Amino acid sequence: MTTYDYLIHDLVEKHGRERTSLIPILQGVVEVKNYISDLDMTEIAKELDISAAQVFGTATFYSFLDTQPRGKYVIRVCKTITCDMHGKKTILQALEDMLKIKIGETTPNKKFTLLETNCLGWCHEGPAMLINEKPFSGLTSEKVHDIISEYMHK
Amino acid sequence: MSESMLKRVDLIFGEYSDIKYKVLSDTLIRPNEDILKDILDSGLRGRGGAGFPTAMKWKLTADTPGNEKYVVCNADEGEPGTFKDKEILTRVPRKVFSGMAICGKVIGARKGYLYLRGEYRFLVPVLNKELEQFHEFARELGSDFKIEICLGSGAYICGEESALFESMEGNRGEPRNKPPFPTTSGFLKKPTVINNVETFVNVLMIMRLGADQYKKLGTSDSRGSKVFSVSGDTPIPGIYELELGMPLDRFVDEFGDGDTKAVQVGGASGFCVPRKKFKDTVIGFEGVPTGGSMMIFNSSRSMYNVLHNYLEFFEEESCGQCTPCRVGCQQLLKGIVAVKKGDKKIEYLDQLMKLSESMKITAKCGLGQSVAIHSLPLSITSRKR
């Protein structure tokens, strides 16, 4: 038994065994482990008494329910039109330079993952990004530098 | 600014009443028929974009037999260029919860859900704190109406009401066949009222002002005010509450940067209005309806790039359930890239236009039905020029 088995057990205790509990449970796994493994999905399926295919189907539908290993801090840069118009490219470049990874990749120390995402709802203050659930808007290369430096020391 | 400045309204974001939950407590003791009559008289239409009459939706649900009914607030605000619900939930959450509680009373529901998009997870702690107070107050008033937050996980399609129910039920967010409509079969197949965040606030404001006072705002087809999310090439991006029924040219005069080429009204799935049509376009249900998104483009923008960006968006966000939308979005994107690169002739755009016309007829839900269709003509004209 690994500690993660308790995680799923605890989440099931907290949210219940109904089908409606599935997404909150999956969200809980991502919050702790940063992604949902195949093993997690089978475990959840057993607990909820549904097929693993159903858990897989739901988990892979939602872009925030990561099913690939991710870093501790997942950076999602908005790529939708107004952020794109207001300098998304520069922001991505700054992030890639600092983290030395490309979009879709995770740093070797498993601390950061860099992704693009669709509209975050900060169109009036673009470009914008999320680091885990925390939004950052009105970004410039300098601002990105400051934010990431801070996270690097966390 | 000049006298032609559009009138600002301070309804949605106006201050709370001096006495906590005053409007709610006054409303909860009124007969349901009176409440419904006020909403009907006010002419309120849903603020998510489609504009369904709110009173009718509530009445249909109230009239459906059953003792298990639900109120759902759609805060899955994913349309590009829209950020008003985030603002409403940040500044006046109490008004949203009160509107939901009034709905619960009218239709006979004891449970409400706020479906919040995953991108707004940072709002959850504040909203839960506000909910604690709300529940305490509701108890004091003798109401057992409870509201729970349901968090999305980054899927645009879940803003479509039936996909949203599927998501709440733990499934893939794939839209259902309609009918049955939510008024008879919504969350857990039970009668459900699902409204936009702003609609619930409007109901509360109608309760506060009375239908007659509320009706003074807007035009006969579009009563009341609307919260607009203004972004793009504008010196003053942000949230503005304006009367419905305004002409687009006046909007551009006030919010544009003097060089506005086009305005995308209603987000990527909305309508792209080119400069020559500003004068004849009215923002409202009698003209171009919008969920609030107003994206302004000046002449430095290539409408090709804009369209390309939209198509990438739809291609990713299509749920993939129905073929016209799944394959259609992919082909439209491929087509636009090919024309841009010069692999296909400009005439190929006519074929893409035909494809999106077919999608309009055959796609299962609003996503596939509205893809790019309103932007394509513009890209043709701008290319030819």
Contact map slice: B 229-248 vs A, CB within 8 A? 229-233, 237-239
B232:A117 CB<8 A: no
**Per-residue pLDDT band at A2 (split at 50, 70, 90):** low
CA B132 to chain centroid, in Å, comes to: 27
Which pLDDT belongs to residue A144?
98
Whole-number Å distance between alpha carbons of A98 and A19:
42
CB contact under 8 A, B155 and A119: no
Residues B139 and B35 in one domain: yes
Positions of chain B with pLDDT lower than 70, given as ranges: 1-4, 372-385
The helix or strand, by DSSP H or E, that contains position B114, with its residue range, turns out to be: strand B111-116
- DSSP percent split of chain A into helix, strand, coil, nearest 5: 55, 10, 35
State how many domains chain B has.
3
Residue at a domain's end among B264, B298, B332: B298
Closest CA to B69 of B195, B182, B162: B182
pLDDT recorded at residue B168: 98
Phi, psi of B195 (to 5 degrees): -135, 160
Look at residue B222 in the predicted model and tell me its pLDDT. Answer: 86
Considering the domain boundaries, does residue B6 fall inside one?
no
Q: What is the ipTM of this complex?
A: 0.96
**Chain A partners within 8 Å of B78 (Cβ):** 118-119, 121
CA atoms within 13 A on the CB side of B204: 28
Examine the domain organization and report whether B205 and B331 are in the same domain: no
What the block records as the tokens of B300 is 């430095």
Residue B112, pLDDT score: 98
H-type alpha helices, chain B: 22-28, 32-42, 54-63, 84-91, 93-107, 124-140, 161-168, 197-209, 211-215, 248-255, 303-317, 323-341, 348-362, 366-370, 376-384
User: What is the mean pLDDT of the segment spanning A124-134?
Assistant: 97
In a domain, B159, yes or no: yes
Residues in Cβ contact with A119 at an 8 Å cutoff, skipping those fewer than 6 apart? A78, A80, A83, B78, B79, B80, B81, B82, B156, B313
- Other beta carbons within 10 angstroms of residue B341's beta carbon come to 8
Cβ-Cβ contacts under 8 Å for A31 (sequence gap 6 or more): none
Residue B134: per-residue pLDDT: 97
Q: How many C-beta neighbours within 10 Å does residue B5 have?
A: 10
Please tell me the distance from the alpha carbon of residue A125 to that of residue B73, in angstroms, as a whole number.
Answer: 26
Q: What is the DSSP string of B43-83?
A: T-B-TTSS--BHHHHHHHHHHS--S--EEEEEE---STT--
Q: Which of B80, B82, B155 sits opposite A81 (nearest CB)?
A: B80
pLDDT of residue B289: 84
Structure confidence at residue B1 (pLDDT): 44
Cis check: omega of the bond before B31, within 30 degrees of 0: no
Token pair belonging to A74: 């997942």
Q: What is the CATH number of domain A73-152?
A: 3.40.30.10
Give domain A3-61's CATH architecture.
Orthogonal Bundle (1.10)
Mutate to test the interface with B, among A85, A86, A88 (most CBs of B within 10 A): A85
Instruction: Tally A–B CB contacts below 8 A.
Output: 114
CA triplet B190, B193, B198: central angle to 5 degrees?
155
Same domain, B324 and B236: no
Longest dimension (CA), chain A: 50
**Is position B15 within any domain?**
no
Cα dihedral sign, B353-B356-B362-B365: negative
- Kindly report the CATH number assigned to the domain that includes residue B283: 3.10.20.600
Facing A21 at nearest CB: one of B153, B170, B237: B170
Give the Å distances, CA to CA, from B308 to B100, B151, B221, B328, B339.
Answer: 39, 30, 34, 14, 11
User: Could you give the CA distance from residue B284 to residue B218 in angstroms, rounded to a whole number?
Assistant: 9
Structural contact between residues B84 and B227, judged by C-beta atoms closer than 8 angstroms: yes
Q: Are residues B315 and B249 in the same domain?
A: no
**In contact, A139 and A93? CB cutoff 8 Å:** no
Inter-chain contact A120–B119, Cβ cutoff 8 Å? yes
Q: How far is A131 from chain B (nearest CA, A)?
A: 10
Give domain status of residue B281, yes or no. yes
CB B206 within 8 A of CB B214: yes
Domain that holds residue B100: 22-215
Residues of chain A that touch chain B, judged by Cβ-Cβ distance less than 8 Å:
18-24, 26-27, 57-58, 61-65, 79-82, 84-85, 117-126, 130, 133-135
User: Which of B80, B153, B316 lies closest to A64 in CB terms?
Assistant: B153
Q: Collect all residues of chain A within an 8 Å Cβ-Cβ radius of residue B317.
A: 118
Q: Do residues B294 and B79 touch, judged by C-beta distance below 8 A? A: no
CB B16 within 8 A of CB B94: yes
